[in-house]
Amino acid sequence: MSGLYLHIPFCKQACHYCDFHFSTSLGLKGSVVEAVVRELALRHAYLGPHAVLNTIYFGGGTPSLLSAAELDALFAAIHKHFAVAPDAEITLEANPDDLTPPKLRELAASPINRLSIGLQSFHEPHLRLMNRAHSAQESTVAVQQAQAAGFENISVDLIYGVPAPDHRIWAQDMAAAFALEVPHLSCYALTIEPGTVFGRQAKKGRFLPPPDEFVAQQFEMLLEQMQRHSYQQYEISNFCQPGRESRHNSAYWQGVPYLGLGPSAHSFDGHNRQYTVANNHQYVQAVLEQGHVPATIEHLTTLDRANEYLMTSLRTAQGCNLTYLRDTLGVDLHQQHSVYLRELHRTGLAELTPSILRLTNRGKLLADHITLELFQSSDSATTGSSTPVNS
């Protein structure tokens, strides 16, 4: 079981909250696609000789900017170098303004069988505040037209914690999303990152994010409404109808190996991580002209793997498997943090058994803090190292 991620680092315009690697200049788009095709040839052995792709994910950036010819070239290269499972989940992230009827017909004729649509909000002023390229009307129409084109497996993104006088806009956003009857919803709190427009504005006092209590109240509203509409929270920010989890993202959280292609993409082979340079020109030049992938390998110690497992597993509905953590990664939380674990259980922040630590809804509000408390320090193991690599 393996996954493939393709990073398409191009957008029509820059959202004010986004700190992913992307460019609003599309001049190198064709060259990046060509380089990703070449990278597939250079790194096809990364997942092992018998790897079968169960998931393929086009992320970005805005992969819906790819033309039909560019998608065809990428799929031809994928099938040339990998076996793809017949029932593979193949996801493409899309912005609503790209999903015109002709574009949807192109996508429906391709191997793509799942769309992840970045709506973010149905409220026009919030879309303008975030500098989204689509309108509130396009938020609804894009999903409806995708459904009419034959896409049933659809996820939509929403952002909460946007500055507002009260919670009415967030309540309306959730109601509009539920009305679309999509099987999957990803809902994220607005995060102010230093290198973003919002981050720079906040530093100058021109943007004031809402208080933590306001954001927490909207998260609690989200949990209540998801339960009311029979969506399961299988990860802190991800909700689905029964059995409709994102297979690709679930594999990430379970530590399944995956290959990431394109500038800024990450890969994981089960023991080490690889990070490709986050620069389109450098990436294209290295891959197409020099025949190597400009990347750095991070050699993960058992300590690194334990901390990563803690961070991801505590965000999921399954929780942290304490037996796996102890027997496979050598970390015994019952022994090392017995008092803290009992306190989490006593205060209703977590469910605790001899083999499982699972956060409650109240605990999920403090997930980052709880994880940091449980993180293993470098005093007990050797830290990982990073090595540049040409592949």
pLDDT digits (tens, 9 = 90+) for 327-348: 999 999 999 999 999 999 999 9
Rounded Cα distance between 381 and 301, Å, is 8
Residue 188 pairs in a beta bridge with 159
Residues whose CB falls within 8 Å of the CB of residue 233, separated by 6 or more in sequence, listed in order: 223, 226, 239, 317
Per-residue pLDDT of the chain (391 residues; tens, 9 = 90+): 799 999 999 999 999 999 999 999 999 999 999 999 999 999 999 999 889 999 999 999 999 999 999 999 999 999 999 999 999 999 999 999 999 999 999 999 999 999 999 999 999 999 999 999 999 999 999 999 999 999 999 999 999 999 999 999 999 999 999 999 999 999 999 999 999 999 999 999 999 999 999 999 999 999 999 999 999 999 999 999 999 999 999 999 988 999 999 999 999 998 899 999 999 999 999 999 999 999 999 999 999 999 999 999 999 999 999 999 999 999 999 999 999 999 999 999 999 999 999 999 999 999 999 999 999 876 544 334 445 554 4
Which amino acid type is present at position 318? Q
Domain 2-252, CATH among 3.80.30.20, 3.40.50.10420, 2.60.40.1170, 3.30.1490.20: 3.80.30.20
pLDDT at 129: 97
Beta strands 356-359 and 320-321: pairing type?
antiparallel
Would you state the structure tokens that stand for residue 72, as one six-digit string?
């065809």
Check if the beta carbon of residue 160 is closer than 8 Å to that of residue 219.
yes
Write out the E strands in 180-257: 184-189, 232-235, 238-240
CATH of 302-380, one of 1.10.10.920, 1.10.10.10, 3.40.50.300, 1.10.3210.10: 1.10.10.920
Is 364:313 a contact under the CB 8 Å cutoff?
A: no
Residues 291, 165: Cα–Cα separation, whole Å: 54
Q: Which are the contacts of 221, defined by CB distance < 8 A and separation ≥ 6?
A: 167, 170, 171, 174
Per-residue pLDDT, 1: 74
- Full 3-state SS string of 87-151: EEEEEEEECHHHCCHHHHHHHHCCCCCEEEEEEECCCHHHHHHCCCCCCHHHHHHHHHHHHHCCC
Nearest CA to 388 among 296, 309, 317, 302?
296
pLDDT at 384: 44
d(CA 320, CA 311): 9
**What's the CA gap between 325 and 288, in Å, rounded?**
42
Alpha-carbon gap, residue 76 to 132, rounded angstroms: 32
- Closest-CA residue to 267 (of 257, 277, 255, 278): 257
| Domain regions of the chain by residue span | 2-252, 302-380
Task: Please answer whether residues 15 and 27 qualify as being in contact, where contact means their C-beta atoms are separated by less than 8 angstroms.
Answer: no
